[in-house]
A and B are shown apart, each in its own frame.
Chain A
Amino acid sequence: MSEKAIQISGLTKAYGRNEAVKHIHLDVQKGELFGFLGPNGAGKTTTIKMMTGLLEPSEGTIELNGVDIWKEPIKAKQLISYVPDQPNLYPKLTGWEYLEFISSVFRMEKDTYEKNANELLAIFGLKDRADELIESYSHGMKQKIAICGALVHDPDILFLDEPTVGLDPKSARNLKNLLRSRCDDGMTVFITTHILEIAEQMCDRIGIISHGDIIALGTMDELRALEGGSAGSLEDIFLELTGDEAQQAVIKEMSEQDSGVSP
């Protein structure tokens, strides 16, 4: 776990004077499942897009397994996969054809592709629907086929932006288990989510971004220690760190009420 899979230094994205992401530094180790949290508009998606080569940073560098994605994009993209929050796929391809397309561009061996694709389609319950055009899929199914496409070529680093949105509970659990097992096998996962329980249960480390700054970074225990060693949930810590004064007063009030009614 000492090898760095993701190395971000001084990463900034500015739109005019407004800085959406402010000089962030972050390292993610190989095999780590890293959770990236933050309120809406905090800069999560902007950061993930810069890391995947979809948005050019104003400043800073991003190295993926030692390869700078903005200097050697093709080499870096060989290593990664990304599933956006709203996966817009090719509507006129079937699920199988989409996976074939992705596997072709990653120059996979036919046998490996078939084995991986069948396994993933089975995990996400898509086998019966993989012959249909993607345009006929529901949002959840599109999400699942996008995840299958992202995993079919065994990437070194997987970026997931709100992957559980639209997934049914069974698929969400399957994804959770799959990610854990892939990370144990050495894949690195960088995930953003709003479902804090998932982050709390799954992630090795968590980073919290607010207004473009990383305001907390560490394991759950480290984050608790940061908040005065309380035994609070990630939700409490998150709200404590990201809420403004008014919000924090409300949270405090609710906590007191909760303790008042609890036996």
Chain B
Amino acid sequence: MMRVLLKNHFRMFMNTVKTQELKGYASYIISFAVLGILLYFVSGGIWSLADLITDPVLEGLLSYAFMAVIGLIVLLGTPQVFKHLFSMSDLTLLFTLPIKTRNIFWIKYMQSFVGIPLFASLFILLPAILYGIASGASYLFYPVLIFVLLAMVLIGLSLAYLFNLLLVQIVPASRANELMTVMSVFSGLIVYMVFMLPNMTGEQTLLEKMLAGLPLFPKWVPMTWGSHAILEAANGSMGFALPLLLLIMLAGIFIFITSSIVERGFRTGWIRLSEGSNTKKKKRNQKQTTKLHHPIQAVARKEWLAVKRDIREWLVLMPILFFIIFGTVGFLTGGGKLSSLQGYHAISWPIAQGVLLFIYAMSNGMVAASSIGREGAAMWILRLIPVSGRDLAFGKLLVSWLLPFILLTTIEVIIGVLLGWTIPQFVLGIVVKAVITMGISSLGLYLGTIGAKYHPTNPQQRLNFGVSILLMIVSYVYLILALLPFGYMILPVDEITLPANLDHGITGFKGMIVTFVLKAVQLKMSYPTLMWLVGAVVLLIIAGGITWLFSKLSARKLNQGIKIDIVNESSAKPLFGKRNTGGSLY
């Protein structure tokens, strides 16, 4: 049976390769080229440094590399495994055929090898082989290296499978898709913390420890067994046997545990998820809850409900969370104390404004752009209902602007209270950011209308790659532009002294700029209130203008009809008949 299944998969793979469009082949070639270049540089470095790498350094390097392999497989492989085990479209067919669940499971397990585990292994295998050749390692080195690497991959992969098979038993079926995404984020955080462990165990940094040949991990962890076995093998010693054996045994135990819960975890898990949940009833008191709204509000409400009810939608705001977590951890582990920041609000406030605006630039545009792709296959409704593009644009803009604004303003207020900011600082900061961020959101919304994308199982993929890069660039360009008048408004003129003679001797365009800046500062010093107002007006013109322009452009695009690229599981062209990649709506 396994042969039949393998043959079937091989055929599907070949057909996929054969039926790729030119774009598909190009992406393969580019990916391989990038991979090749990276491997070339890594291998080149290893080749030239092979003589300088001492045994303890090599042991540390290998331990760390093995941890990276396991970490990468757990981090990136977990969602992949979930897809293979529970959401592949062929499972319905396979489970109705007279095939043992175990066979289906092992096919999926093998499938999982292609991808992250393969790439991660290649990145260790090839440079390590080159090291072996360059350093004249014993012939034992090569087979031991392969066995150790294979064991590490199997451990990582089994962990990803175990994680999925156990999780599917405890997660409510209706929340499985969402929780998988959240779990990926948390597995990312855990892997990050694990990677940071060597940093936290002593005074020295990881690099210092590695170069000094100090052990990075305790002796009992499998990464140390693996690196020790390879080192012994490289020196031609039979001392590799015990750690290698232990490692293979450990991999075997992991595989055994995984396979022993296949029947319970895989088939029943898939059935639970396929059944879904029909218990999501909302209590409704009709007289109280029935409320009809203005079309803009109706669109905004629809957007809000979609975001509120899908945890995955909130992942667009993950950068904010990361900034807060890593920023706080970094500050506290660096010996910082809150009391040392209090009382310096003239410094802490402008810095906080800059950081917050940077976070807004990172998230606001994406939140707004996502609101277009979110329509997905339901876009036909918006095209059919008698609502103008302007109302649609405002409804979407409202929610996508308000959501990060409320979140970040809450954080800002907490920070401000802790740091003792003044009331005018609070008010000015919040009002100015409200104005500036509207511009970012409208830019995002417009770019959403020209590059919308929808992936049914991945709500993060709402924007085409090129457009998302463009969004990042324009958000920051706009932010810099809007920051100029804001910076001018809050310029601490009391702290500045200008020379009596403003002749700077710089000519040309640069000179013009310098003169302009100096004159502006001089004016601000002479007429602080008036110039503050001028700054505010310029800011309003820039931010308001951008908001107006891009909302109008978005409305026009919405009136014309948006094309959303619907991502299919396979982007290959059909073997026969017309080419049709993905799908666009109308």
Stretch of A52-60, A176-184, A199-207, A223-231 that contacts chain B: A52-60
Separation of A97 and B298 alpha carbons in the complex (Å):
10
Separation of A100 and B293 alpha carbons in the complex (Å):
8
**Across the A-B interface, how many residue pairs have beta carbons closer than 8 Å?**
96
The answer to whether the Cβ of A190 comes within 8 Å of any Cβ in the partner chain is: no
Residue of A at shortest CB range from B385? A105
The answer to whether the Cβ of A108 comes within 8 Å of any Cβ in the partner chain is: yes
Instruction: Check A113–B380 contact: CB distance below 8 A.
Output: no
The minimal Cβ–Cβ distance linking B159 to chain A, given in whole angstroms, is 31
The answer to whether the Cβ of A213 comes within 8 Å of any Cβ in the partner chain is: no
Q: A88-B376, A105-B298 are in contact. Are A54 and B291 (CB under 8 A)?
A: no
0/1 interface trace, chain B 254-297, chain A, CB 8 Å (1 if under): 00000000000000000000001110111110100111111101
Please indicate the chain A residues that have their CB under 8 angstroms from the CB of B290 in the complex: 96, 100, 110, 113-114
Which chain A residues in 54-88 approach chain B with CB under 8 Å? 54-56, 73-75, 77-78, 80-82, 84, 88
Instruction: Check B377–A131 contact: CB distance below 8 A.
Output: no
The minimal Cβ–Cβ distance linking A96 to chain B, given in whole angstroms, is 7
Separation of A103 and B305 alpha carbons in the complex (Å):
17
Q: A54-B586, A102-B385, A105-B387 are in contact. Are A132 and B298 (CB under 8 A)?
A: no
Which chain B residues in 29-65 approach chain A with CB under 8 Å? none
Please indicate the chain A residues that have their CB under 8 angstroms from the CB of B297 in the complex: 104
Instruction: Check B282–A100 contact: CB distance below 8 A.
Output: no
Q: A104-B292, A136-B280 are in contact. Are A88 and B378 (CB under 8 A)?
A: yes
Please indicate the chain B residues that have their CB under 8 angstroms from the CB of A132 in the complex: 278, 280-282
* Residue in A55, A101, A108 with the greatest tally of chain B CB atoms within 10 Å: A101
Separation of A75 and B387 alpha carbons in the complex (Å):
9
Q: A101-B298, A136-B277 are in contact. Are A54 and B386 (CB under 8 A)?
A: no
Please indicate the chain B residues that have their CB under 8 angstroms from the CB of A74 in the complex: 386-388
Residue of A at shortest CB range from B290? A114
The answer to whether the Cβ of A175 comes within 8 Å of any Cβ in the partner chain is: no
Please indicate the chain A residues that have their CB under 8 angstroms from the CB of B552 in the complex: none
Separation of A113 and B292 alpha carbons in the complex (Å):
9
> Contacting A104 at CB < 8 Å: which of B277, B294, B383?
B294
Instruction: Check A92–B306 contact: CB distance below 8 A.
Output: yes
Residue of B at shortest CB range from A130? B284
The minimal Cβ–Cβ distance linking A85 to chain B, given in whole angstroms, is 11
Instruction: Check A101–B302 contact: CB distance below 8 A.
Output: yes
The answer to whether the Cβ of A94 comes within 8 Å of any Cβ in the partner chain is: yes
Separation of A132 and B299 alpha carbons in the complex (Å):
20
Residue of B at shortest CB range from A89? B378
The answer to whether the Cβ of A139 comes within 8 Å of any Cβ in the partner chain is: no
Q: A105-B385, A133-B280 are in contact. Are A92 and B295 (CB under 8 A)?
A: no
0/1 interface trace, chain A 100-123, chain B, CB 8 Å (1 if under): 111111111010011000000000
The answer to whether the Cβ of A167 comes within 8 Å of any Cβ in the partner chain is: no
The minimal Cβ–Cβ distance linking B335 to chain A, given in whole angstroms, is 46
> Contacting A52 at CB < 8 Å: which of B278, B302, B306, B384?
B384
Separation of A82 and B382 alpha carbons in the complex (Å):
12
Instruction: Check A105–B388 contact: CB distance below 8 A.
Output: no
Separation of A97 and B281 alpha carbons in the complex (Å):
12
* Residue in B276, B295, B309, B380 with the greatest tally of chain A CB atoms within 10 Å: B380
> Contacting A49 at CB < 8 Å: which of B276, B301, B586?
B586
Please indicate the chain B residues that have their CB under 8 angstroms from the CB of A103 in the complex: 292
Instruction: Check A101–B383 contact: CB distance below 8 A.
Output: no
Please indicate the chain B residues that have their CB under 8 angstroms from the CB of A55 in the complex: 586
Which chain B residues in 545-580 approach chain A with CB under 8 Å? 559, 561
Please indicate the chain B residues that have their CB under 8 angstroms from the CB of A110 in the complex: 290-292
> Contacting A89 at CB < 8 Å: which of B305, B381, B387, B559?
B381
Chain B interface residue number, banded: 35 or more
Please indicate the chain A residues that have their CB under 8 angstroms from the CB of B378 in the complex: 88-90
Instruction: Check A53–B309 contact: CB distance below 8 A.
Output: no
Q: A103-B292, A136-B276 are in contact. Are A53 and B387 (CB under 8 A)?
A: no
Please indicate the chain B residues that have their CB under 8 angstroms from the CB of A100 in the complex: 290-292, 298
Residue of B at shortest CB range from A77? B386
Separation of A105 and B301 alpha carbons in the complex (Å):
12
The answer to whether the Cβ of B174 comes within 8 Å of any Cβ in the partner chain is: yes
The answer to whether the Cβ of A93 comes within 8 Å of any Cβ in the partner chain is: yes
Which chain A residues in 1-46 approach chain B with CB under 8 Å? none
Separation of A56 and B563 alpha carbons in the complex (Å):
13
Separation of A88 and B379 alpha carbons in the complex (Å):
8
Please indicate the chain A residues that have their CB under 8 angstroms from the CB of B305 in the complex: 92-93, 97
Please indicate the chain A residues that have their CB under 8 angstroms from the CB of B586 in the complex: 49, 54-55
Please indicate the chain B residues that have their CB under 8 angstroms from the CB of A114 in the complex: 286, 290
Please indicate the chain B residues that have their CB under 8 angstroms from the CB of A75 in the complex: 386
The minimal Cβ–Cβ distance linking B372 to chain A, given in whole angstroms, is 14
Residue of A at shortest CB range from B379? A88
Please indicate the chain A residues that have their CB under 8 angstroms from the CB of B293 in the complex: 104
Separation of A104 and B300 alpha carbons in the complex (Å):
12
Please indicate the chain B residues that have their CB under 8 angstroms from the CB of A92 in the complex: 305-306, 309-310
The minimal Cβ–Cβ distance linking B209 to chain A, given in whole angstroms, is 49
Which chain B residues in 359-416 approach chain A with CB under 8 Å? 376-378, 380-381, 383-388
Residue of A at shortest CB range from B295? A105
Instruction: Check B386–A78 contact: CB distance below 8 A.
Output: yes
Instruction: Check B388–A54 contact: CB distance below 8 A.
Output: no
Which chain B residues in 69-98 approach chain A with CB under 8 Å? none
Separation of A110 and B383 alpha carbons in the complex (Å):
24
Residue of A at shortest CB range from B585? A54
Residue of B at shortest CB range from A55? B586
Separation of A220 and B391 alpha carbons in the complex (Å):
45
Separation of A156 and B177 alpha carbons in the complex (Å):
41
Please indicate the chain A residues that have their CB under 8 angstroms from the CB of B294 in the complex: 104
Please indicate the chain A residues that have their CB under 8 angstroms from the CB of B299 in the complex: 105
Instruction: Check A136–B278 contact: CB distance below 8 A.
Output: yes
Instruction: Check A131–B302 contact: CB distance below 8 A.
Output: no
Separation of A235 and B295 alpha carbons in the complex (Å):
45
Which chain B residues in 335-357 approach chain A with CB under 8 Å? none
Q: A84-B380, A101-B301 are in contact. Are A77 and B284 (CB under 8 A)?
A: no
Residue of A at shortest CB range from B287? A114
The minimal Cβ–Cβ distance linking A88 to chain B, given in whole angstroms, is 4
The minimal Cβ–Cβ distance linking A77 to chain B, given in whole angstroms, is 4
The minimal Cβ–Cβ distance linking A199 to chain B, given in whole angstroms, is 24
Separation of A90 and B303 alpha carbons in the complex (Å):
10
Report the 10 A-B pairs with minimum CB-CB distance, sorted nearest first. Answer: A104-B298, A88-B377, A77-B386, A92-B309, A78-B386, A92-B306, A105-B385, A104-B293, A54-B586, A88-B378
Q: Report B's interface with A, CB cutoff 8 A.
A: 174, 276-278, 280-284, 286, 289-295, 297-299, 301-302, 305-306, 309-310, 376-378, 380-381, 383-388, 559, 561, 586
Q: List 26 A-B contacts (CB under 8 A).
A: A49-B586, A53-B383, A54-B383, A55-B586, A56-B561, A74-B387, A75-B386, A77-B384, A78-B386, A84-B380, A88-B376, A92-B310, A93-B302, A97-B302, A100-B298, A104-B298, A105-B299, A105-B385, A106-B385, A108-B292, A110-B291, A110-B292, A131-B282, A131-B284, A132-B282, A136-B276
Q: Report A's interface with B, CB cutoff 8 A.
A: 49, 52-56, 73-75, 77-78, 80-82, 84, 88-90, 92-94, 96-97, 100-108, 110, 113-114, 131-133, 136
Known: A54-B380, A90-B381, A131-B284. 5 other contacts (CB 8 A): A96-B284, A101-B298, A105-B298, A131-B282, A132-B281
